[in-house]
Structure 1
Amino acid sequence: MAGLNHDDAVHHVAIDVTDAECVADALKQTERAIGGIDIMINNAGIAGPIAPSWEYPVDAWREVIEVDLNGVFFCCRAVLPGMRERNYGRIVNVASIAGKEGNPNAAAYSAAKAGVIALTKSLAKETPDLSISINCVTPAPVKTRIFDQITQEHIDYMLSKVPRGRFLEREEAAAMIAWMASEENSYTTGAAFDLSGGRATY
């Protein structure tokens, strides 16, 4: 990690994760700049509107699925051939406790994150004989800019479901993800790591 303190150790590429060709092009740019990708953290996401399913805008549904689920698929699809060729890789998909339990008035987000969990398990079962670990985390809400997309009422509801009585800290999520992406995580694949403060215990 010390190497990341040097400016030339970080290569930035802005991409639209909903565009498979854009993702593939970004991969090529990255490989030219720093070589093959060994670690992929899929964390791009949007919340979408808060509304009951029968009033949920169809365009908004499609947008949430495109970003939160299809984006994860496109990124995994892009990096896996190289990981398979090198017989090494770590993929961590950021799902959500909503993907396990479903949140009312957030059907698109919940469905997309449930899809991420299932996608993670499917990909892991496609690569069991390789040194590739593909897992996901199912965190409770973390105070990020995604909170700007949802109502205070919904924020209060989410907090009321967490037995710990507080939201997850970014550093707590980062520590778990860092281990999942490390060489130490050499055995577990296809797992959903719970970070819900006791909301889910399965």
Structure 2
Amino acid sequence: MNRRIVVLSAGLSTPSSTRLLADRLAAAATAALHTRGEQSSIEIVELREHARDLADHLVTGFPNAALRPVLESVAAADAVVAVSPIFSASYSGLFKTFVDVLDRDALTGTPVLIAATGGTARHSLALEHAMRPLFAHLRAVVVPTAVFAAPEDWGATEVGTSLEGRVERAAGELADAVAARPPAAHTDEFDDVPDFTALLNS
């Protein structure tokens, strides 16, 4: 069974360190699942591409054609990797807007790996006082290791404390959580539509 992992990147620039961290986490999660005998597919969602769609949803109460499949993918995922830049000691407004339009039960029981980027290591505390409580509120299963990347982390090589080591540890925890669960139910919106040929022959 193929496990579906949705990676949410809330970076605002192109390229961005947020997307770079998201890509590393996605690759590490794929590798960790493979070592546990699980196949996986990755869907990366750049939230900046849906900024206007999210604003439309806030004022209309409905997702448009571009945003709807993204929300459905998150709800149907076997796991989610959520990465945000840190602004004013918390996740970005873009990231929070996306969470605000999610169905309240979309992430119930879903394994989630949280990560963030910021200009200084002091911002790493936002993972524990802001992002972890946010996903706990959504009843997601947040893995123990949260990954923060400050500018100096990209070149750090100290064993056990390097960014790569934290990425691998968090990815392993996510893979364990996914492997321990039955695959998410991936339903098709047309499953309940009667077969047209059968109707004609009835």
The TM-score, its normalising length taken from structure 2, stands at 0.33
Where is the strand percentage greater, Structure 1 or Structure 2? 2
In terms of Rg, which structure is larger? 2
TM-score (norm 1): 0.33
Structure having the higher helix fraction is 1
